[in-house]
Chain A
Amino acid sequence: MIRQKKVAILRLKIIAVSMLAGLLIGLGAGLARNHKFALILGSFIPAVGNLVAILCFMFIPKEQAKISHDERDELIKKRALYISYCVMLSVVVIGLTVPFFMSGPDGMIPSYYLNILLIAILSVTIVTESVAVIFQYGWQEGEKS
């Protein structure tokens, strides 16, 4: 399997695990009536997951003996980035305009909403990019050595 695809799959796994862990711990703490703890852990774990997902390409070493990258790979990478940015922009616009319309022009929102929105945006960007990379290489094994 090509390295870029391996990285994409690893990223998806890391994001899924961190989101699930953050959700479960956040829910657990929320049920225990510790709302501050729930909020901090519920957003901190996915944030760390995002960071690990961004840096996970370091865990998969390049194979020195092969030419691991050609123009097609470059095009796939650029296209995936483009798609992920388009989705990211949509999420940003929705995430920033919906509270405005829901709470009215004189409304106020808690400041941690923006932090949670940023974490969500980063997760969505990474997931979309990874899915786009995997989709372009094909879901099945053995398409390109």
Chain B
Amino acid sequence: MNRWQKIAWFNLTVIAVSLLLAGAATGTLAIIIGMPGALGGTGFLGFLGLLGLQPVLFRKDKSKVSYDERDVQISRKSVILGFTASYLFFVFACMGCWWYARADGMIDVRILPLIVLGGYIASELVRSISLLAQYGRGRLETPDKVDHK
């Protein structure tokens, strides 16, 4: 498994755990204390901050050539797919909010940062899945590149 695949698996794990914890907490709190207060459960989405640890956890090995042109192509395609997913998320979120609020015509501004966060999650999720799909989901092990020494 090469560095990009490890990063993709790390991203998927962090996103899945964060969404699961936030969903479970919000659902539980909604049953116990009711809806506005239950939104506090979304605080578990703060675990997404762990995604920022990628460069520290998966350092480049200076002694090896860590990627070639094929890796660059795969990475570029994944990034574009991730961006497309986030764009589609924004379209659906904005149109959904507009449709939901069509009766009184006003939207709570607290939703807006959540849309940004949702777009980021969609982007990272699709990027990681696409990366793994292009490398063959780990079945065909992509070895680290040849040592130059």
Give the B-binding residues of A (Cβ under 8 A). Answer: 78, 81-82, 85-86, 88-89, 92-93, 96-97, 99-100, 103-105, 107-115, 117-118, 121, 125
Q: A85-B87, A100-B112, A121-B90 are in contact. Are A92 and B119 (CB under 8 A)?
A: yes
Complex Cα spacing A121 to B80, Å: 17
Q: A111-B97, A115-B98, A118-B91 are in contact. Are A82 and B109 (CB under 8 A)?
A: no
Of B10-18, B59-67, B99-107, B135-143, the stretch lying at the interface with chain A is B99-107
Chain B 26-57 near chain A by CB (<8 Å), digits 1 or 0 = 00000000000000000000000000000000
Q: Please state if A99 and B112 are interface contacts (CB–CB under 8 Å).
A: yes
| CB of B24 within 8 Å of the partner chain | no
Give the A-binding residues of B (Cβ under 8 A). Answer: 76-77, 79-80, 83-84, 86-87, 90-91, 94-95, 97-98, 101-102, 105-110, 112-113, 115-116, 119
- Chain B residues, Cβ within 8 Å of A105: 109-110
- Chain A residues, Cβ within 8 Å of B91: 118
Complex Cα spacing A117 to B86, Å: 15
**Which of A85, A97, A107, A109 lies in contact with B80, CB distance below 8 A?**
A85
Complex Cα spacing A118 to B112, Å: 13
- Chain B residues, Cβ within 8 Å of A117: 94
Complex Cα spacing A92 to B115, Å: 9
Q: Please state if B109 and A88 are interface contacts (CB–CB under 8 Å).
A: no
**Which of A78, A97, A104, A111 lies in contact with B76, CB distance below 8 A?**
A78
- Chain A residues, Cβ within 8 Å of B83: 81-82, 85-86, 88-89
- Chain A residues, Cβ within 8 Å of B76: 78, 82
CB-nearest residue of chain A relative to B91? A118
Q: A96-B115, A96-B116, A97-B112 are in contact. Are A114 and B80 (CB under 8 A)?
A: no
Complex Cα spacing A97 to B117, Å: 11
Apart from A85-B84, A93-B116, A97-B113, what 20 extra A-B contacts exist at CB < 8 Å?
A78-B76, A78-B77, A82-B76, A85-B83, A89-B119, A92-B119, A96-B112, A99-B109, A100-B112, A104-B109, A109-B109, A110-B105, A110-B106, A111-B101, A111-B107, A115-B94, A115-B95, A117-B94, A118-B90, A118-B91
